[in-house]
Structures are given as structure tokens and as C-alpha cells.
Amino acid sequence: MAKAKKKKVVLAWTKDDVMNLRALAKAKLSGTQIAKQLKRSAGAVSQKAMRLGVRLRSIKRKAG
């Protein structure tokens, strides 16, 4: 018997979510850190930030 697929739940962005996104970006948090706090995926946060014209801090990793 085939396993049932999980349904994706799409959460609409509320005004509070957008205000929090802007505030966290202003506080220089990275996209992944913001995503954890907003309980959204990193991709969703980065796409919304791009649409709003909000710049997110990127994490620079050391080459090693």
C-alpha cells in the first residue's frame, strides 16, 4: 500500500509577520535565523524579503 503524501500547508503572510521580518532583518539576523523565529522555510523568508526589497544578512563561511 502506498504511503499518503503530506499536504503542504501554505501560510499567508500577515502584517505582523512582515513587520517581524523587517525588524529581524534590521537587527542583522541571517535568513535562516529569521526563518526559525517565524517558523517558516528559509526559501519562503528569502522570497518574501526579495519582494519587499529587504536585504538579509548572508553568513560567510570559511573555506577550509
Say whether pLDDT at 1 is over 70: no
Judged on CB neighbours under 10 Å (0-12, 13-18, 19+), 34 is buried
**Which pLDDT does position 62 carry in this prediction?**
64
Model's pTM, two decimal places?
0.77
**Which pLDDT does position 45 carry in this prediction?**
95
pLDDT tens digits for 7-50?
Answer: 877 889 999 999 999 999 999 999 999 999 999 999 999 999 99
**Which pLDDT does position 3 carry in this prediction?**
78
pLDDT tens digits for 53-63?
Answer: 999 987 666 66
Q: How far apart are CA 33 and CA 36, in angstroms?
A: 5
